[in-house]
Every structure is written in C-alpha cells, then in structure tokens.
Amino acid sequence: MKKMMKKLALAVACVTTVAMLAACGGKEDEAKNNEQANVIKFGTNAEFPPFEFVAANGVIDQYDGIDMAIAKQIGDELGKTAQIENMEFDSLLLALQNGQVDAVIAGMTVDPERAEEVNFSVSYYNAKQVMIVKEDSDIAQASDMADKKIVVIQGYTGESCVKKMGYAYEAFKKGSEAIMELINGKCDVVVIDSATAKKYVGDNEGLKIVADDAAFGDEEYAIAVNKKDTELLEQINEILTKMIDDGTIQALSEKYAD
C-alpha cells in the first residue's frame, strides 16, 4: 500500500512538473508570437545607394535610403516595428522562401524568373541599366563594350543584361568594389542601375555615366513577398500605392538622390 502511495505521489509530481513545463513553454511561445506579430522583417542588401546603405544614423537602425524609409513607413502603418536583415543580394529570395524574412526590399527589379519564386508588389520605381566609365573613355554605347573589360555585380539584372549581350565580364559582390576596380583602372566599365550609378559618379571624381536606352530595357523595382503571404502582399500594395499617389516616394527619391 505504502509502495502504491509512493508511486502515486511520484506520478502526481511528474504530471505537475510536465504541466508546469508545458505552461511555461506556452507562455514563452506566446511571448515569442506576440513579439513576432509586432515585427515585420525586411531582407535587403545594404550596398545599393540611394536605396539602401549603412549610415551613422539610418531610418531603421544603421540602415538608410529610399527603401529603408519605405520599409519603416510600411511597418508604422501596419502597427509593427520594421526590422532589417542585411544579407547578400543573391540570398534574399531564398531567405524569403525560408521564412527568415517577411519581405524583401532591395531595389529589386521585377523579372519573370524571380516572379516564379516570389510574388512582387506594385512597382514603386523605374530604373535602367547604365554604364559607368572613366571620364576619358571612348565607350559611347553598349556595343562599344565588346572588347572592353566589363564588371557587373553578381546576381544583379546588370549581370543578366551583359550575359544576354554575349560579352565576357567579371562579377563582383558589391557595387563599391566594382567602382574601386574602375577607379584603379582594372576594368573599363561597370554596368549597374541608373540611380545607383548616379550616386557613385557623384561621390567619385573622374567618372561619368553612359546611357544606351536602346540596348538596356526598362526595369521596375518592387517589394517581394512569399507566395503564401497573400494578405501581406495586399497590405503592402495598399500602403505603396498610397505612398506613390501622395508623392511620398517621389519626395524620398529627391531627398536621397543628392
């Protein structure tokens, strides 16, 4: 009898412990869920001025730029804190598919291949690829790149453009590295998005932009969202549309352009 009582007591103790553990776990999970519910995580590659770059005082932590201001406003309007996960451009869509981030805002051009993997919001910016060359360069159009040393940034639409043109090129991980290569005379031309090119040329002496509108197609930037997250896509579309219509995006573009 004594033995049975002992067993019973032990069983009760076990059950209580398990229940307590479960309760604790439950509370922790709840806190975690609440925390997640109040946060919207954006993936970016903060190497793309004026859209995203690292600054002493950014709009979201150390991250500043047009896209970062857009992300902040989306967070505010959703009643959530916008957080930034800075990673390589090439990793962004995978991070979105894995659920590591809720959305990607990275001056990302809508293209059919990417659209197979993720959903894109309405577009908020028009861009084009351009060529950055030294001021004394004889490159005047895209076909002049044929026998030149071309540098692109890995995974950017600039890379696919040059690839389609059939020219040999070298791909760098960062726009800033590509620009250093050009400044140091190790390459003849960098192909990159127009607004970013303008920023680099403004910040560095001896460089100029050569456009070839016939050779490079029009591009549109949009925010990427996981295909499963249709509700978030709708919310982002609504906020972005408002920001386009009321001139906020235009004002941000002007603010960060200089």
Please report where in the chains the tokens 């307590």 appear, as a residue. Answer: 20
Structure tokens at 92: 């962004």
**Where are any strands of DSSP class E within 58-200?**
63-64, 81-86, 103-104, 119-134, 150-153, 170-172, 189-193
Cβ of residue 192: shortest distance to ligand GLN, in angstroms?
A: 8
Query: Alpha carbon of 87 to those of 80, 93, 139, 188, 232: distances in Å?
Result: 22, 11, 33, 28, 22
Beta strands 170-172 and 52-54: pairing type? unpaired
Residues 198-257 touching ligand GLN, rule: CB under 6 A, are none
Listed ranges 13-21, 101-109, 141-149, 230-238: which one lies at the site for ligand GLN (CB under 6 A): 101-109
Site string for ligand GLN, 127-166 (x = CB under 6 A): -----------------------------xx---------
63 three-state secondary structure: strand
CA 222 to chain centroid, in Å, comes to: 10
Site membership for ligand GLN, residue 64 (CB under 6 A): no
Min. distance of Cβ 46 from ligand GLN in angstroms? 9
The smaller minimum CB distance to ligand GLN, of residues 50 and 107, is found at 107
CA distance 14 to 195: 65
Q: Which range binds ligand GLN by CB under 6 A, 26-34, 78-86, 105-113, 233-241?
A: 105-113
Q: Going residue by residue from 14 to 33, which x/- string records binding to ligand GLN, judged by CB under 6 A? A: --------------------
Asked if 43 interacts with ligand GLN (CB under 6 A), we say: no
Which of the stretches 73-81, 103-111, 199-207, 209-217 binds ligand GLN when contact is defined by CB under 6 A? Answer: 103-111
What's the chain's Rg over C-alpha atoms?
Answer: 25
The window from 27-35, 106-114, 166-174, 204-212 that contacts ligand GLN (CB under 6 A) reads 106-114
> By C-alpha distance, which of 30, 92, 78 is closest to 222?
92
- Judged by CB under 6 A, the residue of 42, 63, 89, 256 near ligand GLN is 89
Residue 197 interacting with ligand GLN (CB under 6 A): no
For ligand GLN, the closer of residues 116 and 147 by Cβ is: 116
- The structure tokens 């925390």 sit at 35
Residues 75, 98 contacting (CB under 8 angstroms):
no
Residues lying near ligand GLN in the complex (CB under 6 A): 45, 48, 89, 106-109, 156-157, 193
